[in-house]
Every structure is written in C-alpha cells, then in structure tokens.
Amino acid sequence: KQEVTQIPAALSVPEGENLVLNCSFTDSAIYNLQWFRQDPGKGLTSLLLIQSSQREQTSGRLNASLDKSSGRSTLYIAASQPGDSATYLCAGAGRRALTFGSGTRLQVQP
Amino acid sequence: KAGVTQTPRYLIKTRGQQVTLSCSPISGHRSVSWYQQTPGQGLQFLFEYFSETQRNKGNFPGRFSGRQFSNSRSEMNVSTLELGDSALYLCASSSGRGVARGTDTQYFGPGTRLTVL
C-alpha cells in the first residue's frame, strides 16, 4: 500500500526566500507525481505533474523533481511571495488512484 | 473552458439522512474521481468513473455510492449519514482514460462541504 509523507508539516519564511518542500513515497511503481496547492476551504489547484519517466518539471518560479529510486520528490519555490501562502500537497498516481500526502502548510511573511 | 463545478457548495444534514452531491467535469473530460478530505485522515480516494463505468473504488463502506451519466456528469450518494461523514468532498476530472495513465493531470473542483449534525 502506497504511503506518502510530506516534511515539514508547516513552514514559515520571510518574503523573497527560496524554499524546498519534501515528499517521500513508499512504492516506486507510480505513474506520475503531482503537486497541488490548496487555499483554505478551497479545492486543489494543480501545479506540476512529473511523469514517471521524467526527472523534473518547471513552471515559472516552481521546479519539481522526482527520484523514483529513492522514493522522493521535491518542490522548489524561488523568491517566495505572500501569495504563495497555502497548503502544498503531493500525490502519487498508482494503478487505482492518487495517494496524497498530508501536506505542508506554507506561510510567507511580508 | 469552465473548470470543474460541484453543487451544492455547502450542505448541513442530520444523522441518518442521505445526501447527493453533483460534479460537472471540464468539457470533454470523461474521467471523474471523488475524494473525501478530513482533518484527521487527509485526502482519501472514494471512486473513479470513466464513460459511465466505475473503474476503481476506495476503502469506504457501501453507504457511499456513485454514478456517472452519459454527459460525464457524476453524482455521489451517501446514505444513513454518520457524524464522521462530515468532510470536504472533492471531485476531479481528467482528459485521459483515468488516474494511472501517466500524463493525466487531475483538475479539482472547489468541493462540497458536508456537515452532519
């Protein structure tokens, strides 16, 4: 059974700082790894999807990497802004469904 | 293109009642998945539909059921509500043939907040 862990659970940084969010998974047989953002009380917004054959994906200030052999993915956010404050979730796509981590709650202080 | 829409956005029910939630996927998407999100358990997979067929089901009791119509709209039903069913119910759609197809980004709706009293 796939288990996804995200560390840290919460993070507070000053505006402008670069930061890394971590995601680890136990079953390397994933089809892809997705990163989402969730604002309080809202649905999920897709940020990046890394296919199992890829090593990284970039979108603007976001860069996500995937290392299946070690069961790890990271989300790098460059030059953080207060608008980046949200909960970030990673999810591994298995044969049946997405398995989600519990998320990292990010607060960017102005 | 309009995003995934879910109705209603908020619901308050009492124990023992039943509820039906609706999800309209992005136009052209035929795969719809449902997830339950609670503070204690996080996001958990309920079921997935593709072309009116349930493809996968999560580990939830039979009180949770769903269906998909020919226009890809989906409904989920929870019968005999329990306090523990209080949660945010999220629906996601994708353009491919389902979750495990490598390239399929899942697009989520805003969710339905269900409160059971």
> pLDDT tens across A55-81, in order?
999 999 999 999 999 999 999 999 999
Q: What is the DSSP string of chain A?
A: ---EEEE-SEEEEETT--EEEEEEES----SEEEEEEE-TTS-EEEEEEEETT-SEEEETTEEEEEETTTTEEEEEE-S--GGG-EEEEEEEE-SS-EEE---EEEEEE-
Quick check: A34 and B105 CB within 8 A?
yes
List chain A residues with CB under 8 Å of B102. Answer: 31-32, 51-53, 93
Residue B83 exposed, middle or buried by CB count within 10 Å (0-12, 13-18, 19+): exposed
Instruction: Compute how many other C-beta atoms are within 10 angstroms of the C-beta atom of residue A14.
Output: 9
pLDDT recorded at residue B88: 96
Quick check: B103 and A49 CB within 8 A?
yes
Rounded alpha-carbon distances, angstroms, from residue B46 to A46, A75, B15, B78, B107:
19, 27, 20, 11, 16
| B76 vs B23: CA distance, rounded Å | 8
**With helix as H, strand as E and coil as C, how does B60-106 read?**
CCCCEEEEECCCCCEEEEECCCCHHHCEEEEEEEECCCCCCCCCCCC
pLDDT recorded at residue B98: 57
Of residues B115 and A51, more confidently modeled: B115
Pairing relationship of beta strands B112-116 and B10-13 according to DSSP bridges: parallel
**Token reading at A63:** 């860069």
pLDDT recorded at residue A37: 97
Q: Residues 21..50 of B with a Cβ closer than 8 Å to A: which?
A: 33, 35, 42-43, 45, 48
pLDDT for B100 beyond 70: no
Residue among A1, A11, A55, A10 at smallest CA distance from A33:
A55
Cβ(A9)–Cβ(A23) below 8 Å: no
List chain B residues with CB under 8 Å of A95. Answer: 100
Cβ pairs A/B, distance under 8 A: 71
Quick check: A99 and B45 CB within 8 A?
yes
B43-90: pLDDT as tens digits: 999 999 998 999 889 999 999 999 999 999 999 999 999 999 999 999
List chain A residues with CB under 8 Å of B88. Answer: 41
Candidates A32, A45, A68: best to mutate against B (most CBs of B within 10 A) is: A32
